[in-house]
Chain A
Amino acid sequence: MITQIPRRPWTQRWHVKPIAWTILIVVLLVTSSHMTGVDVAMFFTNFGQFTDLLMRMSQPAWDYLPVIIRPLYETIQMAILGTTIGAALAIPFSVLAASNLVHNRWLRGGIRLVLDLVRTLPDLLLAAIFVAIFGIGSTAGVVTLAIFSFGMVSKLFYEVIETIDMGPLEALESAGANQLTIIWYAVLPQILNQFVSYFLYTLEINVRASTVLGYLGAGGIGVFLQRSLNEFNYSQTAVIILATLVVVMVIDGVSNHLRRVLL
């Protein structure tokens, strides 16, 4: 029988570690805001301009709605196309990048390097490049979204694959199945619902991203957003933002429903 619990060392008793971490983080935050010249006070002094903008946007020009339905529709189509292409490409890459499936460190490292590279390219840069290649229009937008989703989805996918139960893989292997069959029968069923869920999440991000891509001439609702902002026609901007919000909310609702059903 132990009658006395062991004494804690003094570092634990005085919580040295958590306190040190907190101080370090605060110091880092303060110095980085100092070095980059971020003026927090400016946020409050110029707050008036923000409310002014909000006031002007508070009267949405509802008659503008019929005009933006088509481009909004086009935006959704672009997002669906781009996300689907990107996610489909991501599946083989994520399988090859998963450490529990590919034991060859060089192959896995190579694939991950490619994925890191793709993720490093900002979507705006990609859009600018593809507008230059394909000309103004939604082709550039779709290709941009496909590559952007590919980079993001592959990482999410291989992290999901790394958490699966390896038991069924062992069973299939012991039954004499080859690698591809093992992946099809033992890996895919385990990750499918999370794939769908990440796919929908990416789709939602892409709908929002494609509004910005329109700025660079990559098609969709963004073209109209840019036009209304250039003309200082904030009541039209408000309609576009609200319509986009509705689309994002619908996608969110659908993805929540699907996730519940699929789980």
Chain B
Amino acid sequence: MEATPIISFKHVNKIYENGTVGLKDINFDIPRGEFLVVVGLSGAGKSTLLRTINRMHEITSGEIRIEDEPIDQYKGRALRLLRRKIGMIFQNFNLVKRSSVAKNVLSGRVSYYPTWKSILGLFSAVDRQKAVQSLQRVSLAEKFYARADELSGGQQQRVAIARTLMQDPKIILADEPIASLDPLTTKTVMDILKRLNQEDGITVIVNLHSVALAREYADRIVGLRAGEVVYDQQIADVTETDLNRVYQTV
């Protein structure tokens, strides 16, 4: 099984301008189709790590390759095309609350259109249908015309997933997707992510606080502490005591 990994970190370092170390010598590969969960304390660098993959954060040194292409030189259109194939889900959903669900979902498709067409809202019938289908996949098609702020937190996160599906992503990055949800909606959202991983073969990388959830959903768990990978195991090899080491403060 030596297929090229979809994402590969090689000696990645990130040092913030004020001297804080964000990431320290990150070295690992993520094979296509993996459901990877990154665990660690707040401030361990989980969000930073995730955002280096779609270049929402820049790295200081090292190399990140996606589908065997180094991504550090991408600018303008090339960078937007990279981001298009990487969907992102956020802790706070990041929907435009005053816009309709339909508009929020369709906004995930804008990178496929020239600017003037997206601004005039000239989406093709095929893509409108696709928006309905994306919502059906998260079981929210009946909310198509509702305003985003009329929905509950769990529903908003599902709309955000539908928006991401509009990108036809190969990778989905989820930054604490369930941190502001209750246990029940947490399960719904995690199940949807797992299903996208299994049915569509999308590589999913999720940042989580909860070790229990990580063990339930992950194919592989990576632990970060102070910007360093201190744990990296396939789910079959994960043991509770090992995992607890990630959360030790020293």
| Chain A residues numbered 141-175 whose CB sits less than 8 Å from any CB in chain B | 165, 167-168, 170-175
A164 closest partner in B (C-beta): B96
Report the stretch among A47-55, A116-124, A179-187 that lies at the interface: A179-187
- Contact among B56, B92, B97 for A173, CB-based, below 8 A: B56
- Give the shortest distance, in Å, between A61 (CB) and chain B (any CB): 49
Interface assignment of A189: CB less than 8 Å from any CB of chain B? yes
- Give the shortest distance, in Å, between B156 (CB) and chain A (any CB): 11
A168 closest partner in B (C-beta): B96
Report B's interface with A, CB cutoff 8 A: 54, 56, 80-84, 86-88, 90, 92-99, 103, 107-108, 110-111, 115, 118-119, 160, 163-164, 167, 173
Instruction: Tell me if A184 and B119 are in contact (CB < 8 A).
Output: yes
Chain A, interface residues (CB within 8 Å), range: 20 to 34
- Contact among B93, B98, B103, B107 for A167, CB-based, below 8 A: B93
Instruction: Tell me if A175 and B108 are in contact (CB < 8 A).
Output: yes
A179 closest partner in B (C-beta): B115
Instruction: Tell me if A175 and B94 are in contact (CB < 8 A).
Output: no
Kindly state the separation between the CA atoms of A168 and B88 in the bound complex, as whole angstroms. Answer: 11
Kindly state the separation between the CA atoms of A1 and B99 in the bound complex, as whole angstroms. Answer: 51
Interface assignment of A125: CB less than 8 Å from any CB of chain B? no
- Contact among A170, A175, A190 for B110, CB-based, below 8 A: A175
Instruction: Tell me if B80 and A167 are in contact (CB < 8 A).
Output: no
Report the tally of A-B residue pairs with Cβ distances under 8 A.
79
On whether A174 and B88 interact (CB within 8 A), knowing A189-B98, A190-B98, the answer reads yes
On whether A181 and B164 interact (CB within 8 A), knowing A168-B96, A172-B107, A173-B83, the answer reads no
Instruction: Tell me if B118 and A167 are in contact (CB < 8 A).
Output: no
Instruction: Tell me if B107 and A180 are in contact (CB < 8 A).
Output: no
On whether A170 and B80 interact (CB within 8 A), knowing A177-B110, A190-B98, the answer reads no
On whether A185 and B90 interact (CB within 8 A), knowing A170-B56, A174-B56, the answer reads no
- Give the shortest distance, in Å, between B97 (CB) and chain A (any CB): 8
B120 closest partner in A (C-beta): A184
A181 — which chain B residues lie within 8 A by C-beta? Answer: 110, 115, 118-119
- Contact among B83, B95, B97 for A174, CB-based, below 8 A: B83
Interface assignment of A176: CB less than 8 Å from any CB of chain B? yes
